[in-house]
């Protein structure tokens, strides 16, 4: 009932439900005592000249089935939530049941992960069973954004290369999975200058990675790049501590080219990876982190 702004709605729902149950019983009683309205046991309605509606009472077993249904509904509402804000004598909630089932499932998986907890990422990468478990965890929880092969797409990082905004270690990957990650670049067009200045900066950024660019515009944009250097560094190599990407490589997360860079500088960007710590156990994250690292290391060696 949290969607309602007043507790009186809880009473309204409870009373309406209780009255409905009582009304059903009364209706059954009235129907069972109804008298025949015509001497020939019909209701008096006739269709197509000779098609008459009979007034036979419901079979007893059918009527009692209705009664049992109403009684069952009343008993159910006494034990489970349904009468407004009344929680029921069993205090059952869908959230509580979900958490209980999750706890049961995690307890059952403890023996499976026990042998992997003490292993390093390098050792896990050499364990086919562990990597198989990691792959299933990845497909169930990560592939929706990063792709089944880990290569990502526009706005979703490629996990199969060696380009990491952070440390790129097992501990770093586990922390990112557990706590999530928020990447924010504020709109910087006003700080850079005019629209022409923004385009010049875009060409200078393209020049840092050796991409096709306008040399004259790039030279003009170099001076304005000082605004960007606060996060990306004077040389454009980024800052892992801030999560600012390296602009000197040819890896483009949000699209390549002048217009893509202009859009980022003008509009900014706010990317968020949801935390998985509530969905996965530390043991699962330990194995999953090793699998994620293995995607970018053909030798399947991951340092701690």
| The last residue of a domain, from among 79, 110, 133 | 79
Specify burial of residue 277 (Cβ count, 10 A radius: 0-12, 13-18, 19+): middle
Q: Is residue 212 part of a domain?
A: yes
Same domain, 18 and 166: no
Q: Evaluate whether residue 303 is within a structural domain.
A: no
Please tell me the total count of domains within the chain. Answer: 3
Same-domain status, 283 and 173? yes
Q: Nearest-CA neighbor of 259 among 202, 200, 184?
A: 202
Single residue among 79, 114, 135 that ends a domain in this structure:
79
pLDDT, block means (10 residues), the chain with 304 residues: 66 89 86 65 81 78 88 93 88 92 89 92 95 96 94 91 86 95 91 94 95 94 94 91 88 90 93 91 95 78 39
Scanning the structure block, which residue is given the tokens 């007034």? 55
Query: Would you state the pLDDT for residue 214?
Result: 95
pLDDT at residue 53, rounded to an integer: 83
What is the per-residue pLDDT for 32? 72
Domain holding 154, by residue range, is 102-180+274-295
157 lies in the same domain as 197: no
What number of other Cβ atoms are within 10 A of residue 246's Cβ?
19
**288 within domain boundaries:** yes
Q: Whole-prediction pTM value?
A: 0.69
Are 176 and 189 found together in one domain? no
Query: Looking at the domain assignment, is residue 30 inside a domain?
Result: yes
Task: Say if 203 falls within a structural domain.
Answer: yes
Query: 3 in a domain, yes or no?
Result: no
Same domain, 136 and 175: yes
Co-location of 176 and 206 in the same domain: no
- Tell whether 257 is covered by a domain: yes
Helices (H), the chain: 8-32, 60-79, 94-114, 121-125, 128-141, 143-146, 170-179, 189-192, 195-208, 215-224, 226-232, 258-267, 282-295
Q: Is 206:223 a contact under the CB 8 Å cutoff?
A: no
Looking at the fold, whether 188 and 268 belong to one and the same domain comes out as yes
Separation CA 173–CA 178 (nearest Å)? 9
| Same domain for 210 and 70 | no
- Looking at the structure, do residues 173 and 30 belong to the same domain, yes or no? no
How confident is the model at residue 148, as a pLDDT? 93
93 in any annotated domain:
no
Q: For residue 152, is it left (φ>0), alpha (ψ between -120 and 50) or beta?
A: left
The pLDDT of residue 301 = 41
CATH number of the domain encompassing residue 166: 1.10.760.10
**Same-domain check for residues 233 and 189:** yes
Residues 112 and 165 in one domain: yes
* Residue 251 and residue 170 share a domain: no
């Amino acid at each position: 009932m949290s969607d309602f702004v007043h507790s009186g709605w809880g009473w309204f729902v409870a009373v309406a439900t209780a009255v409905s149950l009582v009304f059903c019983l009364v209706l059954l009683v009235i129907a069972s005592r109804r008298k025949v309205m015509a001497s020939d046991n019909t209701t008096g309605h006739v269709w197509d000249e000779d098609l008459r509606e009979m007034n036979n009472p419901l079979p007893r077993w059918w009527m009692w089935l209705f009664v049992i249904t109403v009684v069952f509904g009343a008993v159910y509402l006494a034990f489970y939530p349904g009468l407004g804000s009344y929680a029921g004598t069993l205090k059952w909630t869908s959230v509580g049941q979900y958490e209980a089932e999750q706890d049961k499932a995690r307890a059952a998986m403890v023996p499976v992960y026990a042998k992997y907890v003490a292993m390093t990422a390098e050792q896990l990468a050499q364990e086919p069973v562990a990597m198989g478990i990691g792959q299933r965890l990845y497909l169930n929880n990560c592939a929706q954004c990063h792709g089944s092969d880990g290569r990502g797409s526009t706005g979703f990082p490629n996990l199969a290369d060696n380009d990491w905004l952070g440390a790129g270690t097992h501990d770093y990957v586990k922390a990112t999975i557990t706590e999530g990650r928020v990447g924010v670049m504020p709109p910087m067009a006003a700080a850079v200058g005019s629209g022409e200045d923004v385009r010049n900066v875009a060409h200078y950024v393209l020049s840092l990675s050796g991409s096709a660019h306008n040399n004259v515009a790039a030279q003009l944009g170099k001076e304005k790049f000082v605004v960007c250097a606060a996060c990306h560094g004077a040389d454009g190599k980024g800052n892992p501590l801030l999560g600012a990407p390296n602009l000197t490589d040819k890896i483009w997360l949000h699209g390549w080219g002048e217009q893509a860079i202009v859009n980022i500088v003008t509009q900014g960007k706010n990317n968020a990876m949801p935390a998985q710590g509530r969905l996965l156990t530390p043991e699962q994250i330990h194995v999953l982190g090793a699998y994620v690292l293995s995607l970018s290391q053909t030798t399947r060696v991951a340092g701690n």
